[in-house]
Structure formats: C-alpha cells, structure tokens
Structure 1
C-alpha cells in the first residue's frame, strides 16, 4: 500500500503555479469579480456560474479560489474562541468531542448567513465548490506558524488548507491566508488578496504549514521531514509568498553564532529584485535600525545576503525586500 501511494505521488515536489505559466487567469478572475454579490444558499449554482465558461481545470479552480478569497471574511474572534475552548478541553475527550461537534455546525451556519468563517470554513467551501465542478480537492488539517503563534503550546492542529489535483498533479493552497489580514490597530479583518498562497511551492509552504498526514507536504522526502524542524524554522510572513519561490537559509529561527562570524541568508526569488531593495532591520533590544547587508548578490533568481555582527548580544533580525517584511530570526552573538 505504501509503495502504491509513493507511486501515485511521485514527482509531486515543486508542483506550483509556475507549471501554468502559459495560462492567462484574467478571464477567471473577471468571472469571480462578476459574481461578487452571489450568496452561499445555492452552492451548485454558484459553482456553475464560476466555472461553466472556463475551459481548463486550473482556470475553473482559479475562479473558485479567488471568489472565496474575495468574498469570505476571516472571523478572528471566532477562531480565538475555538482555540481557547480546545485548549481548555484537551484533556477531556468527551467535552472536546461535544465542543467540536457544536463548533462545526455553528461554523457552517455563520459561513452561509454572514459570509464569515475560519480556516476550516474556507477549506470546506473550496472543496465543496471544486467537487461540484468535478475537480479533485481535499481538506488538509495540520499545524501553522505565524508570528503570533506560541510554538511552545502548539500541541494540537490549529489550521486547515487545501490540496487540489490539476493535470494529474497535486498542488497546495491556503485560502484563509490568501484572503487578507487583520488591521494591526483594530484587529478587524481586511480583504487583501495574496496570490502567493495559490498553488504555492511545497518547500516554501512547508516552512509554516505542517499537515497531520505528512503525505500532504507533497515533498519527495516527506517521510523524513520532522515536526521538530518545522517548530524550529524561521518565521516567514505573507509577503514572503509574494516575493519568494523558496527559502534556504538560515534554517532555524533561533541561532547562536560568534562575533564576526558570517551569517548567510539565501532565497530563491519569484521576480527580479535589485540590491538596494534588500534590507535588514536589526533590533538589539535597545535600538532598532534598518541597514544594508555587508554583501548582497543576485544570480539566476538566487538571492544571497551576508552579514557579520561586530558586537556580542541578542538580536532580532527582520529581512525586507522592497519594504516587504519577509522573515524573522534571532541571533545570540557570543565572543
């Protein structure tokens, strides 16, 4: 059985949006926009309106994905309530089961009535609309890391996303994170579509997504990929998906180095960048300053940045490209 699974999933690594460079998504995006005022009380009709005039599965899935991301708001208050309850009942299986059952029903009602939901609602809606369009799509449950997640308490799945089969290959997408972000000052959700979460590179996706069933990593060496490595990985932000195809170094969030030791940051770019666009923001706890790295090279979409700390201490380092916050690391610098 395991051999059969490996055979079916062979060559899945690197399945991503670049496989469809010849596809123009303009028509699919336009149809999604034209259906903006559609409601969720008739999903077969909605799926038909979104997909019937498109000729390829990837275009049909694109219309579904962009419609969901542009019309369904993320309910952060509801998400927080769910995580709080699940944490409270984690040692009482009966109460946890009852809460999960109530929560699923309430989530579906809220989704249909208010066009608001959390990650499970997004993933469910993407799958349902895809199924109605005869597109193979799965809901993937797992762990997700953001700057606000306390990894020390990450002992139960906290996120859901989708895998979709197109032209015989599986691809990953995250409609929740693609749809928008909360306003930093009000915490109110704001639509802000991020195309980087549509058919993402599995290697980049795996830095902050870890599925319960590791086959959905879609990596050749998925069985060797550890949860420990996922927990230790750097924080990468939504803007990373808009700028990067992959992240290589540093592989860990927390690093210990020697004074004047060379630190290397290495990424594969999605689009052209010039040297002056690359900055480091270094925070010592006493002052914070955005600086130019000691060395920045760009060759064949590979961005390599080097920096040396001249003083001992503990530093937060934030990596920027064109003003976009890409990733965060910490460095303990010893003498």
Structure 2
C-alpha cells in the first residue's frame, strides 16, 4: 500500500510539472511575428505596446509569448548598471536606511533608462514583462532570489542577486527568465549580444531550480523545493542546457569524491532525441584536457543515462557536451 501511495504521489507531481511542452499544440509563429512587427513601438505607453503585441491572439500563452519575445529581443542587459548596483548594495548592506534609499533611487533611474535607452538589469526585465503581461490580461509576478551561472562568485550570493517571472496560464503557474533568455555577455568585455534562448520560456521547474533559488519558496513550483545549500552545491549549467534538456535527474551536486576505478552516472531528460554519438565528456586534470566518450550510454523515452569511470587518482573538471554544446560542469576528486 505504501508503495502504491508513493507511486500515486509521484505521478501527480509529474503531471503538475508546468513547462512549455504543456502547449506543444500551440503554434507561436503569430505571436513571434507580432513581437517583430511591434519592434519600434515606444515603451512610454505600456497599454499601447501590449495592444500591439496581442492583437488577434486568442490564448493567454500566445499573449505571454509575444510579450516575452518582444522584451528579450528589444531590451539589452546593462552590465555597467548591474555592477554599479552590486557595489552600492555591498557598501550599504549593513545600513538598511541607506540601502533602501539607494534601492528606491536606482529603481527610478533603471526604469527611466529602460524607457529611453532600452537597457536594464534583471529586475527591469522582470518588471517590464510583468507590466506588459498584466496589460495583456494575464496574472504575472516578479520573483526575487538567487541566480547562479559559471561567472557567479560566492560574493555575488551574499544577498539576492537575480529576478525573473512567474505567469499564470490556464490556472497553472509557469516560470520564465527574460534576462538570461535575451542574450549573453562577452566574458572579457561584458558587452551584451542578443541571443534568444527559448529554453528559458516556461521552463520545467526542476531544471529551473538548478540555478534559480527564489526567496519565497512557493515560487519554486515544486512539491519539494531544493534547499539553499542544495542550490549552492548544484552543478554549473550553461545556456545550452536549457536548449537541450528538460530535467537533470543526476547528479544534482557539483563536486564528487570517489575512489579510483569508480564511476559517476549522469541522468538527463532530453528535450529531443539525440544520437548516442552526440554525448562527450571534456575532462581537464589541470595539465591536459581530453575529450572522451562515455563508458556506457543509453536512452529510453528521451531519458539519457551515461557513465564515466575514473581510473587515475587526481582532481578533474568534467564538462558534459551534447552536440559540441557545453551543458554542465562538475568536479571530481579521485582518491586511491
């Protein structure tokens, strides 16, 4: 009986997992064309822009798609503003009065710059998506919390550093990150380049939780939300993980301590079927980097399981590649 109850709970949890595939019968081409058609519309009148974006769209998800695509295609990430805000927040972190004053003043400047120059930071992206979504008749929230990328330091996570959105569609809440979906910075110059990532539009919450941790855990949209420590210890994900994957089942931690001749198993739910030769590991021991095939590999219903065995003692950076796209990074310490 207990096994049956557990299975039933698992099935229910799986069924309520809110993700883009819930709308696989919806053709978003009309919404995407409207986002392109309204490219030159002003941000000074949110209602007019929302009307332009949703003209003739009959479903809530299409309206949200048009809003999301417009924001991610027309608003660039202002890294100078991000770093200025980061410095000020660090400076005032022990003085709540000055911090609140700075936050209020910065919000006004951020909104003004977004309207005039179409540049902002994550809170501006989330704010604009919310405003346009609500003007389109949708229920949408700004979610504040922690975001972790390959460039995020421990210092960046001393206080909440990221914002994104939750939107209600057909009575169910979904997650979307317009900031990370819009593009990427050059790691050397921090210049922004538009590079839309559809994987961050109505993302599966289990995948989203690997590098997003909301302050209010109800916005994780999971029956059992990862703890903050789980979030800190999770593997590093890259943008292509959202393009290639639906869920990471294992491993859910960044670092692994194993013994010589032991294996690490990787289990991912793929967004689409891939050839077995699409998977490679890039393994760096600090002296040399080699690209290798997994020791074992199998897929069933888009669930990919692969293992790699470490025969030599040492410390390794392990990068998983799918179709030559960097997906995730782990570290492995191999002992005798």
TM-score class, shorter: over 0.9
* Structure 1 spans left out of the alignment, 5+ residues: 1-9
Q: Partner residue of 1:205? A: 208
Q: Partner residue of 2:253? A: 252
Q: Partner residue of 1:281? A: 282
RMSD: 1.3
SS in 1 for 2:125: helix
How far off its partner does 1:153 sit?
A: 5.1
TM-score normalised by the chain length of structure 2: 0.94
Q: Partner residue of 1:196? A: 199
Is the contact between residue 201 and residue 246 of structure 1 (CA under 8 Å) also seen in structure 2? yes
C-alpha separation between the residues in 1 aligned to 2:132 and 2:81? 23
| Cα gap change, 1:259 to 1:241, in 2 (>3 Å) | same
Partner residue of 2:161 out of 152, 158, 161: 158
| Cα gap change, 1:136 to 1:12, in 2 (>3 Å) | farther
How far off its partner does 1:302 sit?
A: 0.6
- Residues paired across the two proteins, number: 324
Residue 46 (str. 1) matches residue 49 (str. 2): yes
Q: Output one character per residue of 1:38-76: Cα deviation in whole Å (capped at 9) or x when no partner.
A: 121111100000012111110011000000000000111
Q: Partner residue of 1:5? A: none
Q: Partner residue of 1:94? A: 97
Q: Partner residue of 1:177? A: 180
How far off its partner does 1:220 sit?
A: 1.4
TM-score normalised by the chain length of structure 1: 0.94
How far off its partner does 1:132 sit?
A: 0.7
C-alpha separation between the residues in 2 aligned to 1:205 and 1:188? 25
How far off its partner does 1:185 sit?
A: 4.4
* Structure 2 spans left out of the alignment, 5+ residues: 1-12
Q: Output one character per residue of 1:129-164: Cα deviation in whole Å (capped at 9) or x when no partner.
A: 011111000000000110111136512110000000
Q: Partner residue of 1:59? A: 62
Is the contact between residue 12 and residue 219 of structure 1 (CA under 8 Å) also seen in structure 2? no
SS in 2 for 1:59: helix
Q: Partner residue of 2:239? A: 238
Q: Partner residue of 2:117? A: 114
C-alpha separation between the residues in 1 aligned to 2:215 and 2:252? 21
How far off its partner does 1:183 sit?
A: 2.4
Q: Partner residue of 2:10? A: none
Q: Partner residue of 2:190? A: 187
